[in-house]
Amino acid sequence: MKSHAKVVVIGGGVVGCSVLFHLARHGWTDVVLLERDELTSGSTWHAAGGMHTINGDPNVAKLQKYTISLYKEIEELSGQATGVHLTGGVLLAATEARLDWLRGVVAKGRYLGIDLEEISANEAAELMPLLDPKQFVGAVRNKEDGHLDPSGVTHAYAKAARKLGAEVERFTKVEDIVRRPDGMWRVITNKGEVVAEHVVNAGGLWAREVGRMVGLELPVLAMEHMYLITEDMPEVAAWNAKTGTEIIHAVDFDGELYLRQERGGMLMGTYEKANKVWSEFQTPWNFGHELLEPDIDRIAPSLEVGFRHFPAFERTGIKQIINGPFTFAPDGNPLVGPVRGLPGFWVACGVMAGFSQGGGVGLALSNWMIEGDPGADIWAMDVARYGDWATMAYTNAKVRENYSRRFSIRFPNEELPAGRQLKTTSIYDLLSAKGAQWGVSYGLEVPLWYAPAGVKDEFSWRRSSDFSHVANEVATVRESVGMAEISNFAKYKMTGEGAAAWLDRIFACKLPKPGRMTLAPMLKDDGKLIGDFTLANIGDGEWFIAGSGIAEQYHMRWFEAHLPADSSVRMEALGQTLTGLAIAGPKAREVLAKVSRADVSNAGFPFMAVAKMDIGTAPCLVGRVSYTGDLGYEIWVAPEYQRAAFRALMAAGEEFGLGLFGSRALNALRLEKNYGSWAREYRPIYGPLEAGLDRFVAYGKDADFIGKTGALAERKQGGKLRLRTFILDADDADVIGDEPIWFDGAVRGWVTSGGYAHHSKKSVAIGYVPKEIADESDGFEIELLGKRHAARVQAAPLFDANFERMRA
Ligand SMILES: Cc1cc2nc3c(=O)[nH]c(=O)nc-3n(C[C@H](O)[C@H](O)[C@H](O)COP(=O)(O)OP(=O)(O)OC[C@H]3O[C@@H](n4cnc5c(N)ncnc54)[C@H](O)[C@@H]3O)c2cc1C
């Protein structure tokens, strides 16, 4: 075994081998994979080997498509058979709600290049002869489904990597990992030590244990999972003989089952409701090529449905039941990327569908390690989407929930119950008493809307029980004054003599003067966006930033990686040590004036001003800015004072008709101002010009800000896309995001977010289209629940296009 390597990859499952292959293919060949046993000694060996392109997140779906396209290449390169059978498959709907969901999947496929087609239940039965069409209302055909040999694929990755110069050391167990003062990693094994610049944790079932070696508690947990293999079936033999083809895959969402042919019989797997965690706290090191005890009672309810939906199963015997463990992150997507605070330590774990996702994970991670950027939008699998709040108990609750809901519909207005009330602010009970309906963001409870007694969300793809109540909240803001809790923003504080110079380099905007704020895009080295913030200069060398709450860890990883080595800049994420309230609407200033002794007149405290002032008796930081696009203020207050500030504002607002509003009303308000948000409109694949944030980029400023060259190039060449707001002729449903945008009969773009703008009484969608058609006024359509609706570009904001309200 070599004593030094550029990269040590820990784990010889499908994921570690894919990472090794991609690093070597990308030109890093001084790389070694350490496997404690034989390759495939974790969850990989007993996988059912199914692969498919669909995923709830379109960007993960793209990487799944890439994974499937890769198998031919690694087979040729390695000479190792991968056993790929691209049979195609059917996705089955037993209810109308499921069919609506599937139509959304087909629509997404149109701009992802995934070939999906809606078919009837009878047509599905012609393709998959074992199903009873009477049990289904419709289906979708997917040509890119199939299965493979899990061991063959893993060895093909490893052999291909070796051919490219990478090394694999089997029976080499990593026992500890120690960071040296010079930043290199000592990887200590049972066979000696390797010193490496980078370490990748692809430990699969043992990813937690490998993480703990560097003090990291990763939010992953293994679940038991069962599938059965039947005896040979005459129906299968007859079909094979008649068509010369295998029986295609089927996913029966409402039965929570997946099926495929296995030799002369069938394989049927299920994500059962009565699921079971495996090795809750620690994975035993002596677990290897073993199976767990099957428990047919646990999967009996799913099998009952299976027998009804696929009657031939009732007439056949079960040859074998496989029960094996594999790992999940709380939301079921992988955990990939560099770990904040551990330079050179990377993770590629929590991969629940290694044969659909392993290639994409390897590609993204190798790009990230070598180029400094994953090369794709991988937010949905970035390890930084979780913070310390994703504790072991939280992970346990969410993983169990996610497993049991693997094939369940999640409606756009549906909030999931597991792991809730983890983080609440000090006014949680006060807002609950006013009817707050809670959602969750980065572990924190956030008010979505306020319901009268006895009313709650009715889950639907269409406008629902909240519609008129959200409309009232919007009206309160636009007509008098509303108050919202905004503690879910990320908040950061910067001080130190080097802070201004550092901020000038990290942000693309011009720095605000003391007492002022600005919108601050942050760019990556390639000039694309990595954040959008409000940057406030508090004065006396103190700076404050507010940004996307869900991206706190993501942005801290970026900030910290770019901090100067000396201590000239001090930066901290304030988390819930600072909470927030916002008031907005034409009467907002009058409310503020009643509770503050500061001069809050337009002259004394103009638009984009920021100052410390007391609200009632509570010390606060107040900025005159509002995401509602109205006259408004954001108020930042330490948690111990939040109740006092809230009560003072409520009391002062009474005479002006102040009402509470939640994040759904805020969405409706920001849509009519064409305001985007991080992780929807603003993502790391778009340039500032494309995203319409170029007006905040100080292209000519002296500071050599990160991404300047890329941003200037984008401005010169014009980028490829444009973000546009559309008004939709909708019926009873509004877009939620990821719908295709048609132009002249072809899919040319995609929706990033939208909803109903209650004040303007318009259904609004925001999305990207190629710049060549971005200024067309006619010819657009947006596909929603299987139907194309005429749409037109709304260039000027629907509300207050001249910014008179905001600046008044
Ligand atoms: C019953 C079942 C059916 C499944 N069906 C499918 C399917 O149809 N399709 C699909 O895509 N996925 C399926 N999966 C999931 C799939 O198996 C996983 O997604 C995949 O195996 C994850 O691979 P991995 O490389 O991350 O982890 P693992 O396979 O667990 O690999 C981790 C490797 O790291 C090694 N290791 C860990 N710690 C150390 C250390 N300290 N030193 C050295 N080596 C170490 C282990 O020995 C192991 O070989 C199924 C899983 C099960 C259990």
Name the band, by pLDDT with cuts 50, 70 and 90, for residue 204: very high
Q: Is 208 in the pocket of ligand 1 (CB under 6 A)?
A: no
Q: Is 482 in the pocket of ligand 1 (CB under 6 A)?
A: no
Q: What are the tokens at 36? A: 């404690």
Q: Is 49 in the pocket of ligand 1 (CB under 6 A)?
A: yes
Is the pLDDT assigned to residue 54 strictly greater than 90?
A: no
**Of all atoms in ligand 1, which is nearest to the CA of residue 288?**
47
The string of DSSP codes covering 581-634 is EEEESTTHHHHHHHH--S--STTTS-TTBEEEEEETTEEEEEE---TTSSSEEE
Q: What are the tokens at 89? A: 């498959």
Residue with the two structure tokens 């034409």: 586
Cα separation, 760 vs 108, in Å, equals 28
Cα separation, 536 vs 517, in Å, equals 4
Q: What are the tokens at 398? A: 């969410």
Binning the chain into helix, strand and coil, the percentages to the nearest 5 are: 30, 30, 40
Q: Is 337 in the pocket of ligand 1 (CB under 6 A)?
A: no
Q: What percent of the chain has pLDDT over 70?
A: 100
Residue from 44, 70, 262, 346 to probe ligand 1 pocket by mutation (most atoms less than 8 Å from CB): 44
Beta bridge partners of 195: 4, 186
Across residues 460-477, what is the average pLDDT?
97
Q: Is 88 in the pocket of ligand 1 (CB under 6 A)?
A: no
Q: Is 354 in the pocket of ligand 1 (CB under 6 A)?
A: yes
Across residues 152-178, what is the average pLDDT?
98
Beta-strand pair 257-262/265-270? antiparallel
Q: Is 362 in the pocket of ligand 1 (CB under 6 A)?
A: no
What average pLDDT does the structure give for the chain?
A: 96
Gap from CA of 8 to ligand 1 centroid (Å): 18
Q: Is 340 in the pocket of ligand 1 (CB under 6 A)?
A: no
pLDDT the model gives residue 57: 87
Q: Is 538 in the pocket of ligand 1 (CB under 6 A)?
A: no
Cα separation, 413 vs 582, in Å, equals 23
The pLDDT tens digits for 227-268 are 999 999 999 999 999 999 999 999 999 889 999 999 999 999
Helix (H, G, I), strand (E, B) or coil at 159: helix
Cα separation, 761 vs 567, in Å, equals 52
The pLDDT tens digits for 661-693 are 999 999 999 999 999 999 999 999 999 999 999
Q: Is 204 in the pocket of ligand 1 (CB under 6 A)?
A: yes
Is the pLDDT assigned to residue 782 strictly greater than 90?
A: yes
Q: What are the tokens at 350? A: 């929590």
Q: Which DSSP letter does residue 339 get?
A: P
This prediction's pTM: 0.97
**Of all atoms in ligand 1, which is nearest to the CA of residue 357?**
11
Cα separation, 653 vs 762, in Å, equals 29
Helix (H, G, I), strand (E, B) or coil at 520: strand
Number of residues assigned to the chain:
808
Q: Which of 208, 153, 149 has the alpha carbon at shortest distance from 21?
A: 153
Is the pLDDT assigned to residue 56 strictly greater than 90?
A: no
Gap from CA of 571 to ligand 1 centroid (Å): 39
Is the pLDDT assigned to residue 777 strictly greater than 90?
A: no
Cα separation, 419 vs 402, in Å, equals 11
The pLDDT tens digits for 324-379 are 999 999 999 999 999 999 999 999 999 999 999 999 999 999 999 999 999 999 99
Name the band, by pLDDT with cuts 50, 70 and 90, for residue 459: very high
Q: Is 202 in the pocket of ligand 1 (CB under 6 A)?
A: yes
Name the band, by pLDDT with cuts 50, 70 and 90, for residue 289: confident
Nearest CA to ligand 1 atom 50: 47
Name the band, by pLDDT with cuts 50, 70 and 90, for residue 795: very high
The pLDDT tens digits for 582-625 are 999 999 999 999 999 999 999 999 999 999 999 999 999 999 99
Beta-strand pair 787-793/780-784? antiparallel
Distance linking the first and last C-alpha atoms of the chain: 71
Q: What percent of the chain has pLDDT over 90?
A: 95
Cα separation, 475 vs 469, in Å, equals 10
**List of residues 6+ apart from 249 with CB closer than 8 A:** 50, 52, 87, 88, 89, 90, 145, 146, 147, 258, 259, 260
Residue from 205, 210, 336 to probe ligand 1 pocket by mutation (most atoms less than 8 Å from CB): 205
